Structure 1
């Protein structure tokens, strides 16, 4: 009888924890989806097993709900990428766009971020197991890929934030780690003509 009581108590705790995690995740997604277009400054560090020192870059990003992300590296070199659900293109200084072949896992990561920032939680859960901790003021989300072919390449993703997304950490199975810190996150305001063109906006 005692063992049954312990088992029931454990099941209750597990169920209650799962419910709390689900509620927190839904609250976080709802909070993020309130911002239809945001800008931020970023600093990215990329560490690979072959390098003794991480590669560091910084710049600006623009995210527009339902359309994609414009990623502008400014230091130590200049490079602009537009990532949408259909394609990834590189934009040169004259505004010309060249297709870029996605590395394995990049498409899934981009789709996951799109889903999180647009409130499409069901789509995210089809691709990843998600664990949430913290509060809506300061939260952490941990994503583990469900599909075996993706899991062979991508180990996991962690997101940290509050009112806005503040940090993305991506760990690949080959030991490569990418850590992106975002600051000065804000509503995007009016988009320029080139930004609209890159993201397929009218």
Structure 2
């Protein structure tokens, strides 16, 4: 589930009085306005088999419609490219090697892509979604609709304000993944290597 990322960074600037379905649509509409975003992340992962929490940190890049780059910098170095349901590992020379996705990762990746590109109908086919709070400080709670996904994934929570601040993923086996984003900003120009990794011209 380390590769789960998600993928994600959004900007929200909507009516602070919006509630329920109106709040959800307001958030999604704003998320779809930012085509490329960078952020720093810290990820903590806890599994029943391990007594210590696994912590990693690094940088991520999300590009609407193309996917994301997840660059772990501590405690080891690793770069992953997630495009749709496909994940590849990128080595220091830029060579790509396919990585087998774990069960449930494809659905989570598609949900996040749908949120970030404003395709709420696609998200709601996969998940029951509940929105609470205000546009200034909101929470989205996702519960899988499909029984085969629900056997693996318990739920997902997104928390945010002006930007997405946190993603929490709870699996049925007791594994918890908590990702917090900081220093979120528009991505600006992409490097040639970033474009190649995400299949951009």
Number of equivalent positions? 184
Question: 1:20: how far off?
Answer: 3.8
Per-residue Cα deviation, 1:64-110 (whole angstroms, up to 9, x for no partner): 00000100000000000000115110000100000011100111111
Q: How does 1:173-188 map to 2 (within 5 A)?
A: 173-188=172-187
Which runs of 5 or more residues in structure 2 are unaligned?
1-17
d(CA) in 1 for partners of 2:77, 2:21: 40
Tell me how far apart the structure 2 counterparts of residues 178 and 100 of structure 1 sit (CA, whole Å).
19
Residue 39 of structure 2 corresponds to residue 56 of structure 1 = no
Relative contact order (C-alpha < 8 Å, sep 6+): which is higher? Answer: 2
| Partner Cα distance (1:20, 1:43) in 2 | 30
Q: What TM-score, normalized by structure 1, do the two folds share?
A: 0.89
Provide the secondary structure at the position in 1 that maps to 2:101: coil
| Matches for 1:8-27 after TM superposition, within 5 Å | 20-27=19-26
List aligned pairs for 1:132-147, cutoff 5 A. Answer: 132-147=131-146
Instruction: Verify the 8 A CA contact 1:32 1:165 in the aligned structure 2.
Output: no
| Residue pair 2:85, 2:109 contacting (<8 A) in 1 also | no
SS at match of 2:106: helix
Q: Which has the higher helix share?
A: 1
Distance 2:62 2:115 in 1: 12
Q: CA deviation at 1:163?
A: 2.3
Deviations 1:26-62 (A, max 9, x none): 0011121111100000000000001111000000000
Cα separation, 1, equivalents of 2:85 and 2:109: 10
Length-normalised TM-score, structure 2: 0.90
Equivalence for 1:98: 97
Alignment partners' CA distance in 1, 2:163 and 2:191: 22
2:9 maps to what in 1?
Answer: none
* RMSD across aligned positions (CA): 1.0
Could you tell me how far apart the structure 1 residues matched to 2:164 and 2:194 are?
21
Residue 154 of structure 1 is matched in structure 2 by: 153
CA separation in 1, counterparts of 2:139 and 2:123? Answer: 16
Alignment check: 8 A CA contact 2:131 2:138 kept: yes
> 2:127 & 2:82 partners in 1: Cα distance?
20
Aligned pairs (5 A) from 1:27-42 = 27-42=26-41
Residue pair 1:32, 1:163 contacting (<8 A) in 2 also:
no
